[in-house]
């Protein structure tokens, strides 16, 4: 199972608290993750925490592109965490190898065609709308059935746009338009997502449903969850701290 390390180059990311918003700090953290054995570094310049406002494209690019260029020189494998086709394209050209789109192609009508044209792995996450008001969208009949069918629609759209089957990775979108119980139901039924036939990525790291008053208090639960998911057949986990996850997976 792969470990994707989160590198949020944002001043307002809920778990990093702006600690890595400076270029130097971001590159340093990226190099640390490489030393810790990270498989993919996921670089994002726009926070998607509940309630977050959008970041303009120029600002997003200014945050992520220099960091991608710097880490590419050190041989890093990187994904670009963006909802914008233009940012995805610039990031791939700067040295990133995968696109991680939390909107699954819904936020930017050019995204799927761009990913198809770039011919790189594309992570399609389950998403119901922008962070500003996503909590009001946490309404499901059966959350597992509904998320699977909405993901299925995104898979069809991606294939229709020309993304190759081999380049598609899916993600149930833990914490995105989902309440505590929805998140746990998805985790309890993760085998149903694996059965969809695509690699599955799970991003639960330090998210609110794990309890605790702040993100740092959710670290142990995150590591325990990685261990629990390790036998499930998922492709990877997206996490803040690389080393303990590598250790627990090798234990
Ligand atoms: N979560 C966040 C951002 N990007 N990408 C994927 N594929 N899956 C996720 O669950 C996901 C993501 C929000 O968390 P962060 O602010 O800690 O990065």
- The helix/strand/coil state of 113 is helix
What sign does the CA torsion over 230, 49, 91, 150 have? positive
Say how many Å lie between the CA of residue 176 and the centre of ligand 1. 9
Please tell me the pTM assigned to this model.
Answer: 0.95
Q: Closest Cα to atom 2, ligand 1: which residue?
A: 48
Instruction: Collect all residues with Cβ–Cβ distance below 8 Å to 20 and sequence separation of at least 6.
Output: 7, 8, 9, 13, 26, 29
Asked if 227 is an active-site residue, the reply is no
Residue from 89, 75, 195 nearest 144 by CA: 195
**Both tokens assigned to 221:** 């639960």
DSSP code string of 176-208: SS--HHHHHHHHHTHHHHHTTSS-BEE--TT-G
Say how many Å lie between the CA of residue 16 and the centre of ligand 1. 12
Say how many Å lie between the CA of residue 118 and the centre of ligand 1. 22
For the chain, 251 residues long, give each residue's pLDDT as a single digit of tens: 999 999 999 875 444 544 445 688 899 999 999 999 999 999 999 988 877 888 999 999 999 999 999 999 999 999 999 999 999 999 999 999 999 999 999 999 999 999 999 999 999 999 999 888 888 899 999 999 999 999 999 999 999 999 999 999 999 999 999 999 999 999 999 999 999 999 999 999 999 999 999 999 999 999 999 999 999 999 999 999 999 999 999 98
Distance (Å, whole) CA 5 – CA 123: 15
Q: Closest Cα to atom 10, ligand 1: which residue?
A: 203
Q: Are 72 and 35 in contact (CB under 8 A)?
A: no
Distance (Å, whole) CA 155 – CA 167: 11
Distance (Å, whole) CA 237 – CA 193: 14
């Amino acid at each position: 199972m792969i470990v994707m390390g989160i590198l949020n180059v944002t001043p307002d990311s809920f778990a990093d608290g702006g600690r890595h918003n400076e270029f130097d700090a971001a590159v340093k953290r990226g190099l640390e993750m490489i030393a810790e054995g990270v498989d993919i570094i996921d670089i994002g310049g726009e926070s998607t925490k509940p309630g977050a406002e959008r970041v303009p494209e120029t600002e997003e690019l200014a945050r992520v592109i220099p960091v991608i260029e710097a880490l590419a020189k050190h041989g890093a494998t990187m994904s670009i965490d963006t909802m914008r086709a233009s940012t995805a394209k610039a990031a791939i050209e700067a040295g990133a190898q995968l696109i991680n789109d939390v909107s699954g192609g819904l936020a930017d009508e050019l995204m799927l065609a761009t990913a198809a044209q770039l011919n790189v792995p594309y992570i399609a996450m389950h998403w119901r709308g922008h962070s500003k008001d996503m909590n009001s969208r946490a309404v499901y009949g059966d959350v597992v059935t509904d998320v699977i069918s909405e993901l299925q629609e995104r898979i069809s759209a991606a294939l229709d746009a020309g993304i190759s089957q081999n380049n598609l990775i899916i993600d149930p979108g833990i914490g995105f338009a989902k309440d505590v119980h929805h998140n746990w139901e998805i985790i309890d039924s993760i085998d149903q997502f694996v059965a969809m036939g695509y690699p599955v990525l799970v991003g639960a790291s330090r998210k609110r449903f794990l309890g605790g008053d702040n993100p740092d208090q959710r670290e142990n639960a995150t590591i325990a969850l990685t261990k629990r998911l390790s036998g499930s057949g998922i492709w990877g986990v997206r996490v803040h701290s690389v080393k303990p996850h590598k250790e627990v997976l090798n234990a």
